[in-house]
Chain A
Amino acid sequence: MENVGALALLLAFCISLYAIVASVTGRLKRKPFLTLSAERAVLAVWLLVTTASGILIYGLLTSDYRLAYVASHTNRDMTLYFKFAAWWGGQEGSLLFWSWLLSTYAAVVVFTTRRGHRNLLPWVVAIVSTVQLFFLTLNTFVVSPFQVLAVDKVVTSVADGMGLNPLLQYWAMVIHPPFLYLGYVGFTIPFAFAMASLIEKAPGESWIHTTRRWTLVTWLFQSTGVALGSAWAYHVLGWGGYWMWDPVENASVLPWLAGTAFLHSVMMQEKKGMMKVWNMVLISATFFLCIYGTFLTRSGIISSVHAFAESPIGKFFVVFLAVGIAATIWLILDRLDYLKSEAELESVISRESSFLFNNLILLASCFAVLWGTLFPVITEKLTNEKISLDAVWFNRLMVPIGIFLLLLTGVGPLFAWRRTSVDSLRKNFQWPGIGTLIVAAALLLGGMRYPYSIISLSLCFFVAATISMEFFRGARAISEKTHIGFVPAIIELTHRNTRRYGGYLVHMGIVLMFIGYSGHPFNQTAIGEVDKGDSIQVGAYNLKVLDLTEGDTPNYEWETAILDVSKNGKPIGTLEPTRRFYKAAQQATAIVALRTGLNEDLYINYAARTGTKATIQAYVFPLVDWIWIGVLVLIMGTLVALVPSKVARSYARTEVVGVAKKKDAPVEA
């Protein structure tokens, strides 16, 4: 079986190579049958990679411990879905998963664009196949998932596998990597269309229109993936953090930041024909950051540059990134003339310039995160000394940037294209502005003393107010005109321009997430080594230890504290934080006891047992649930933006038709 899998990958490698050659030759020599054969080759690659993946999954599900990958990432006690999830649990499998996703995307692109973009498609096929070829090179020649265990060249198997890290045996962690990978891989498609459009010097913005849904769906996957990782850290690791600026987290957020900048920036090109070069740069940056993210998490460079040097795949990634980035830069520079802006900026107070600032801030934060992730590695390489870089460094930099971005979220969408009149500024911002000041004053008077929290919460109010006003005004107009109720009017309004109002919902999701982040300075902590009958006080909560119990299962040993919880003296029930010690992996994990609420979470972790006493870590995290609610709203908003608008909109392009140079000169036609 494993030989069939390895053969399928080898064949897929050869056919990908063929697809590149056939596609490029077919386009250059104008031979449509050759380009068609390249498109068919893409479908064949999908079939072959699917076969290989199916064989690996079969091995994982049936516990075929002759396969080294199966033995290292599963064991017999694991449930079926964790065994399936082991497909992306290790290096070899996850790179095969990358290949499979890319081949699937490529097949979908070939299928959906079979009737349009005849000039672009050959280049899209060639570019996607080049990326595919790179990953198939790794799958086939460097880190094959089909390596078998052998002693003296005789294939052998082990009795049981090593299993999956118990920390990862959690539902969010099972679906977190696929979502992230769907995001990482998905950006290949808009990148390929952008490059194809550059190569062909295709007029207009057809590549943007074609890939808008791809980009949005990909961005949605990426956002959900990042959020799932964050939720996993919060619920599983036992210390209540949801973002540590860990290099692996940074790897996932880097392409997200660049992709978000791209999503905003393309609007300038679609509506005004501006920022063409910039959009090319942004989509390329997003794509290469996706590859870089995979490289960062898979090459071992994070743990140490020495591990990276020993990693078999690190050098391949470096070469691929270097060649890819050089080729992209050359292509963009070569086609600069074709990317000239069609319109001009008329006023600093305009939608256009708010997009410029949005891009500046998103990219500056992207650079800061990249710098914080890369610099320690470079320093280690140069001085052999690692840098101590914790969340404090990132927070000091990113919190003000994030708050400024929140402000832009509020003001940007309400600026008019071209220029914004004073009247419109007053109409849109007067009441939200006054309300914001009142909220800030109320927070100050209420005793809040954390400047960032005050600014953040006030701005949250501001952005929420401006968005609500937009919905309210539009819905009221529709309601008056068509005599329907207010709620149906909101639905009608959103349906008429899903992109705009879906976008507002996404912004609302961001606002809710910021409300959650603003609670961070008010976290309360208590650590206690307690025996039966002892109590711990954290915030308004009192935790009385009713009992300390322990037990044993074939998979793990467990210890639990049964706590009687009361708030301000009022009993609110019992909580049972547990600690499990997995025997196979020789590793402990926490099953946190959580009492969630919109105002605060009570978070209790059973940290350790010393003699008869248990170490209990108790935390109160104010507002944290708003982060998860915000994520849900963000997902909903993106889904709304994906629904086609009821009214097909074709925007008239604002173009400069004449310039009045002198005072008395007539207006040029």
Chain B
Amino acid sequence: MHRLKRSLLLLVVAVAAMAQTESQIQSESVRRTGVHIACQCGACQENVDCNMSSGQCHFCKPARTKIFQMQQQGKSDAEIIASFVQEYGQKIFRADPNSFFWLVPYLALGLGGVGVWMIVRRLRGTKSLTPAPAGHLVEDDPIYARYRDQIEKDTEKLN
């Protein structure tokens, strides 16, 4: 009885394996494993979701089918990847980017921000114009006031 059960189960797995639909082999779980397997078609630099062929190239489709089948058999991602590496060599494996890789662009942005802040401070800090105190001759002198108005008008045009 036990043997019969096992045979039936194997049969179900085998039938399932033969009849994968396109949506099954393009599922999220297949993709998850697939990003660690490089397409070997020679034309693209993608993982097994070759955009150059809508995922239909002679390498990607069988590779995705194999991933799907192995997942159906309960194999882990590591086991599936190991099987591909065994077949094609280390060149097929794509590792996840490490945290250093993730951090650097943010660090660059942060450092750039600090740089801009320092430029702003340097350009403003050392030689900034202090406004003339109220009641100073600049305000009182009508000639000065006229020039100021003219300057304001001219600089307004610049904007």
Decide if B72 is an interface residue (CB 8 Å cutoff): no
- The 0/1 profile, CB within 8 Å of A marked 1, for residues 102-129 of chain B is 1011101100110110011001100111
Assess whether B51 is in contact with A239, with CB atoms less than 8 Å apart: yes
Which residues A355-402 have CB closer than 8 A to chain B? 356-357, 359-360, 363-364, 367-368, 371-372, 375, 379, 384-390, 393, 397, 401
Cβ of A167 and Cβ of B52 under 8 Å apart? yes
Say how far B152's CB is from chain A's closest CB, in angstroms.
10
Contact pick for B155, options A238, A375, A417, A527, CB 8 Å = A417
Residues of B within 8 A of A (CB): 21-23, 26, 35-36, 38, 43, 45, 47, 51-56, 61, 90-91, 93-97, 101-102, 104-106, 108-109, 112-113, 115-116, 119-120, 123-124, 127-130, 132-133, 138, 154-156, 158-159
B119 touches A527 (CB 8 A): no
A387, B56: Cβ atoms closer than 8 Å? no
A310-360 residues with Cβ-Cβ distance < 8 A to B are 341, 344-348, 351, 353, 356-357, 359-360
Residue in A246, A271, A385 whose beta carbon sits within 8 Å of that of B45 in the complex: A246
Contact A393 B155 (CB under 8 A): no
Instruction: Report yes or no: B155 in contact with A654, Cβ–Cβ below 8 A.
Output: yes
Give the distance to chain A from B40, nearest Cβ to Cβ, in Å: 11
Determine if A202 is an interface residue (Cβ-Cβ < 8 Å): no
Interface residues on A, range: 35 or more
Cα of A383 to Cα of B122 in the assembled complex, Å: 43
* Distance to closest chain A CB from B136 (angstroms): 8
A172 in the interface, Cβ–Cβ < 8 Å?
A: no
Task: Name the residue on B nearest A303 (C-beta).
Answer: B45
Q: Given A368-B105, A385-B93, A529-B22, check contact A659 B127 (CB 8 Å).
A: yes
With A356-B120, A387-B97, A656-B129 as contacts: A368 and B155 at CB distance below 8 Å: no
On whether A656 and B127 interact (CB within 8 A), knowing A390-B47, A416-B159, the answer reads yes
- Can you name 7 extra interface pairs (CB under 8 A) apart from A363-B112, A385-B90, A386-B95? A344-B127, A344-B128, A344-B129, A393-B102, A397-B106, A651-B158, A664-B133
Binary CB contact string for chain A from 112 to 155 against chain B (1 if under 8 A, 0 otherwise): 00000000000000000000000000000000000000000000
In the complex, A282 has a CB within 8 A of chain B: no
Across the interface, which residues of A come within 8 angstroms of B45, CB to CB? 246-247, 302-303
Query: Does A588 have its Cβ within 8 Å of any Cβ on chain B?
Result: yes
Asked whether B52 lies within 8 Å of A345 as measured between CB atoms, the reply is: no
CB-based nearest B residue for A418: B155
- Tell me the complex Cα distance, A607–B133, Å: 76
Contact between B112 and A345, CB atoms less than 8 A apart: no
CB contact between B54 and one of A239, A351, A360, A528 (< 8 Å): that residue: A239
Query: How far is it, in angstroms, between the C-alpha of A349 and the C-alpha of B22 when the chains are bound?
Result: 55
Nearest 6 A-B pairs (CB), nearest first? A388-B94, A345-B123, A368-B105, A238-B54, A364-B109, A527-B23
Query: How far apart are the CA atoms of A307 and B89 in the complex, in Å?
Result: 17
Contact of B132 with A660 in the complex, beta carbons under 8 Å: yes
A663 to B90, CA, bound (A): 74
* Set of chain A residues within 8 Å of B130, measured between Cβ atoms: 660-661
B129: min CB distance to chain A, Å: 6
Residues A241 and B51 in contact in the complex (CB < 8 Å), given A652-B154, A660-B132: yes
User: A566 an interface residue at 8 Å Cβ cutoff?
Assistant: no
> What is the chain B residue whose CB lies nearest that of A592?
B54
Report whether A397 and B124 are in contact in the complex, using a CB–CB cutoff of 8 Å.
Answer: no
- A615 is an interface residue with CB less than 8 A from chain B: yes
- Set of chain A residues within 8 Å of B101, measured between Cβ atoms: 371, 375, 379, 387
Distance to closest chain B CB from A645 (angstroms): 14
Q: Are the CB atoms of A346 and B128 closer together than 8 Å?
A: yes
Tell yes or no: A403 within 8 A of B by CB. Answer: no
Nearest chain-B residue to A386 (Cβ)? B94
- Rounded to whole angstroms, the CA-CA distance of A327 and B23 in the bound complex is 55
Across the two chains, which residue of chain A brings its CB closest to B101?
A: A375
Q: Could you tell me if A527 and B94 are in contact, using CB atoms closer than 8 angstroms? A: no
Give 1 or 0 for each of A410-427: 1 = CB within 8 Å of chain B CB: 000000111000000000
Residue contact A388 to B36, C-beta cutoff 8 Å: yes
Q: Nearest-CB distance from B48 to chain A (Å)?
A: 11
Complex contact A389–B22 (CB within 8 A): no
Within the complex, which residue of A347, A353, A386, A529 is in contact with B21, where a contact is CB–CB below 8 Å?
A529
Given the known inter-chain contacts A360-B112, A588-B53, please indicate yes or no for A345 contacting B23, CB distance below 8 A. Answer: no
Cα–Cα, bound, A607→B55 (Å): 8
Give the Cβ gap from B95 to chain A, nearest Cβ, in Å. Answer: 5
Indicate with 1 or 0, residue by residue over A611-628, a CB within 8 angstroms of chain B CB atoms. 000010100000000000
B138 partner residues in chain A, CB cutoff 8 A: 667
Q: Any chain B CB within 8 A of the CB of A635?
A: no
Residues in chain A near residue B94, CB distance under 8 A: 386-388
| Contact A615–B22 (Cβ < 8 Å) | yes
B93 engages A348 (CB within 8 Å): no
CA distance A244 to B53 in the complex (A): 14
Instruction: Given A659-B127, A660-B132, check contact A527 B26 (CB 8 Å).
Output: yes
- Decide if A590 is an interface residue (CB 8 Å cutoff): yes
B92 CB to nearest A CB, Å: 9
A605 near B: Cβ within 8 Å?
Answer: yes
**Across-interface contacts of B35 in A (CB, < 8 A):** 388, 390
The reply to whether the CB of A237 lies closer than 8 angstroms to some CB of chain B is yes
Contacts of B54 in A (CB 8 A): 237-239, 590, 605, 607, 617
A:265-314 near B, CB below 8 Å: 271, 274, 302-304
Of B53, B116, B124, B132, most buried by chain A (CB within 10 Å of CB) is B53
By beta carbon, the residue of chain B nearest A347 is: B124
Decide yes or no whether A608 CB sits under 8 A from chain B. Answer: yes
Partner of B96, one of A357, A387, A661: A387
Q: Tell me which residues across on chain B come within 8 A of A165, comparing CB atoms.
A: 43
Which residues of chain A have C-beta atoms less than 8 A from B21's C-beta? 527, 529
Interface centre among B47, B54, B95 (most CB of A within 10 A): B54
Whether A417 and B158, one on each chain, are in contact in the complex, defined by CB atoms closer than 8 angstroms, is yes
Q: A356 touching B108 by the CB < 8 A rule?
A: no
Cβ contacts under 8 Å, B123 to chain A: 274, 341, 344-345
Question: Within the assembled complex, what's the spacing in Å between the Cα atoms of A345 and B128?
Answer: 8
Q: Tell me, in angstroms, the Cα distance from A19 to B155 when the chains sit together.
A: 46
CB within 8 Å of B: which A229-277 residues: 237-239, 241, 244, 246-247, 271, 274
Complex contacts, A238 vs chain B, CB 8 Å: 53-54
Closest B residue to A384 using CB positions: B90
- The answer to whether B51 and A344 touch across the interface, beta carbons within 8 angstroms, is no
